[in-house]
Amino acid sequence: MCMGFGCNAAGVIGCRIIDSPRERLIATITNNFVPCNGRFPTLIALTAIFIAGNSGNLSSIVATVTILFCIISSVFITLLVSKLLSKTILKGIPSSFTLELPPYRKPQIGKIILYSIFDRTLFVLGRAVAVAAPSGLIIWILANITIGDISLITYIAQFLDPFSRLIGLDGYILLSFILGLPANEIVIPILIMSYMSTSSIMELSSLAETKLLFVENGWTWLTAVCVMIFSLNHWPCGTTLWTIKKETQSWKWTFVSFIVPTIIGIVLCFLVTQGIPFILTLIQ
């Protein structure tokens, strides 16, 4: 779980140390609920813009508490889903976790660095490049091919919009998550590209410009909350999915790893979108 905070693909590889195949599979499926470094920029940016932006001198405290709440929520959901899986499709007898410690030896710094680079870093980066290259081409094609002066991205976003509204998003937001399959870091840049109708992925120079662009496209604080929830609970990135396939040698469990967080994210966003306005109406 802790390795997933850095990279979910590395977290999946780290599950190798679990002896029990059943519990190793549970850890692999639920690893994606832990926010990786690719999702933290989205969470921090939206927190700063919509949650803590109007808190004055307390903005840094509000932002810190919000991000901490996101992390605690992700850990809680991880444990809850792990429990549900262990009682349903991965039912079995719990095993004890035993990690045998080898004899202590003086660390060989050079060997550790080389092992980490070649067996872990380059291993994961190689898979990331293999996933990102074709996906980047698809994004470019959708942004640059137009039909009647309207890009393919706009057509697809309009198709997704009715469903997206039910879960507090819009068509462009949901499409950005879909196109952001190679890496969670590019979700917001793709969204900015789509809103500004540009032909390449871009970022704005300040959070103020980002907020203005989002508000002009109908964003509210509730939209930001739903985007944060969906960012925490949706399908793993392409590199993680590939790693899951390699580790489990099964398309079935790769699909389960894809669909479980996605369903949870959709359900949570739907409940928040439909429930919060109702609660606010009762209070007023």
Q: Which of the pair, 278 or 234, is modelled with greater confidence?
A: 234
Is 70 exceeded by the pLDDT of residue 262? Answer: yes
Q: Please give the Cα distance from 54 to 61 (Å, whole number).
A: 12
138, 179 Cβ separation under 8 angstroms: yes
DSSP 235: P
Q: Please give the Cα distance from 222 to 283 (Å, whole number).
A: 17
State both tokens at 7: 């990279």
Residue 130 pLDDT level (bands cut at 50, 70, 90)? low
Show me where the domains of the chain are located.
2-94+130-283
Q: Please give the Cα distance from 46 to 178 (Å, whole number).
A: 19
pLDDT in tens, 132-180: 667 777 888 888 888 888 889 999 999 999 999 999 999 999 999 998 8
Helix runs in the chain, H state only:
8-14, 21-30, 40-46, 59-87, 109-116, 122-144, 152-166, 171-179, 187-196, 207-216, 221-232, 238-248, 251-283
**Over the range 68-94, which residues count as b (16 or more CB within 10 Å of their CB) and which as e?**
eebeebbbebbeebbeebeeeebeeee
pTM of the model: 0.85
pLDDT in tens, 34-62: 888 889 989 999 999 998 877 777 888 99
pLDDT in tens, 82-93: 999 988 888 776
The enclosing H or E element of 151 equals strand 150-151
